[in-house]
């Protein structure tokens, strides 16, 4: 079976090389238009060309903006590709009995060290509350994939907490692990701004994002959905209201055969 991860990896690799060429070429174009670089100035002089005027022409005809737009679009595409690779690299492993609380802790650790996240909002400012029911049965799952699931949700929570409505309320994420008859249940809850019903309904759609270009790709939660529902036959849901934080609830069956 061609897994979602395999497909994503194939596409990502195929797109990566031409994309890198485009971005590199753009950089060269920009450099060679720079009137201050001696090599450019030399050639321009030979041709009797005023590079300052060339720059001015480009500004007036909007070419500089187009070049900037091309660069931004390229960077955005590169980010989507790297998200796809991040997902696929970690999938395809064997299922083994796992303790979800341990995987959750690993994901928190991963988020605390995430460079990208630190640039937007340092995860370590957030209070993490753990409500773990002890001595739970292990769950048959693919640990690395589940780590990615929890990481994606935690990253969203941290990003959302940056925009919490009342800055005097300390940012908080509550993690819960508890048993049900057939499932292990994990909850990840934040006290951020929450979301409208329209947004809530769409969060698991691929490429759905409310974030700025370059910040969000809209892939995080679709990856979550695939890993949980497709690969683990579990379920994921979100409860939220504007101003009321968000709570993601993941259910994984203890055993997919039983």
Ligand X SMILES: Nc1ncnc2c1ncn2[C@@H]1O[C@H](COP(=O)(O)OP(=O)(O)O)[C@@H](O)[C@H]1O
Q: Which residues of this protein are in contact with Mg ion, per CB under 5 A?
A: 156, 220
The answer for residues whose C-beta is within 8 angstroms of residue 30's C-beta and 6 or more apart is: 67
Residue 192 vs 253, nearer CB to ligand X: 192
Q: Which two tokens stand for residue 62?
A: 């909007």
179 binds, among Mg ion, ligand X, none (CB under 5 to 8 A by kind): none
Task: Single out the residue of 217, 232, 250, 253 in contact with ligand X (rule: CB under 6 A).
Answer: 217
| Binding of ligand X by 191 (CB under 6 A) | no
Distance CA 143, CA 148 (A): 9
- Which residues are 185's β-sheet partners? 178, 251
| Binding of ligand X by 216 (CB under 6 A) | yes
Least spacing, CB of residue 170 vs ligand X, in Å? 16
Task: Single out the residue of 203, 227, 236, 252 in contact with ligand X (rule: CB under 6 A).
Answer: 203
**Run of H or E including 68:** helix 63-89
Distances (CA, A) of 221 to 209, 236, 246, 249: 10, 10, 13, 13
Task: Single out the residue of 5, 143, 171, 220 in contact with ligand X (rule: CB under 6 A).
Answer: 220
192 binds, among Mg ion, ligand X, none (CB under 5 to 8 A by kind): ligand X
- Which residues are 246's β-sheet partners? 190, 240
Q: Which two tokens stand for residue 167?
A: 């800055």
Task: Single out the residue of 16, 183, 209, 235 in contact with ligand X (rule: CB under 6 A).
Answer: 209
Distance CA 93, CA 24 (A): 35
Residue 258, SS3 per DSSP: coil
51 binds, among ligand X, Mg ion, none (CB under 5 to 8 A by kind): none
| Binding of ligand X by 208 (CB under 6 A) | yes
| Binding of ligand X by 246 (CB under 6 A) | yes
Dihedral of CA 112/193/203/257: which sign? positive
246 binds, among ligand X, Mg ion, none (CB under 5 to 8 A by kind): ligand X
| Binding of ligand X by 252 (CB under 6 A) | no
Radius of gyration of the chain (CA): 23
Binding mask 137-176 for ligand X (x = CB under 6 A): ---------------x---xx--x----------------
Distance CA 205, CA 200 (A): 10
Q: Which two tokens stand for residue 227?
A: 């890993």
Kindly list the residues in this chain that would bind ligand X in the complex (CB under 6 A): 152, 156-157, 160, 190, 192, 194-195, 199, 203, 208-211, 216-222, 246
């Amino acid at each position: 079976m061609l897994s979602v991860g395999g497909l994503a990896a194939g596409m990502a690799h195929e797109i990566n090389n031409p994309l890198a060429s485009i971005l590199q070429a753009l950089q060269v174009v920009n450099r060679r238009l720079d009137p201050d670089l001696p090599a450019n100035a030399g050639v321009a002089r030979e041709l009797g060309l005023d590079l300052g005027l060339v720059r001015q022409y480009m500004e007036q005809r909007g070419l500089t903006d187009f070049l900037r737009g091309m660069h931004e679009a390229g960077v955005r595409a590169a980010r989507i590709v790297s998200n796809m690779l991040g997902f696929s690299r970690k999938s395809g492993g064997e299922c083994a009995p796992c303790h979800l609380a341990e995987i959750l802790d690993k994901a928190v650790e991963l988020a605390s060290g995430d460079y990208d996240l630190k640039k937007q909002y340092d995860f370590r400012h957030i209070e993490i509350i753990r409500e773990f029911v002890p001595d739970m049965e292990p769950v048959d799952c693919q640990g690395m994939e589940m780590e990615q699931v929890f990481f994606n949700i935690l990253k969203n929570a941290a990003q959302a907490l940056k925009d919490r409505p009342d800055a005097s309320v300390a940012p908080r994420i509550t993690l819960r692990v508890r048993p049900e008859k057939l499932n292990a249940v994990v909850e990840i809850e934040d006290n951020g701004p929450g979301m409208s019903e329209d947004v809530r309904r769409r969060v698991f759609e691929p490429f759905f994002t409310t974030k700025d270009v370059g910040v969000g790709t809209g892939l995080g939660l679709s990856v979550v959905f695939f890993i949980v529902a497709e690969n683990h036959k579990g379920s994921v849901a979100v409860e939220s209201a504007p101003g009321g934080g968000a709570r993601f609830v993941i259910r994984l069956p203890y055993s997919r055969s039983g």
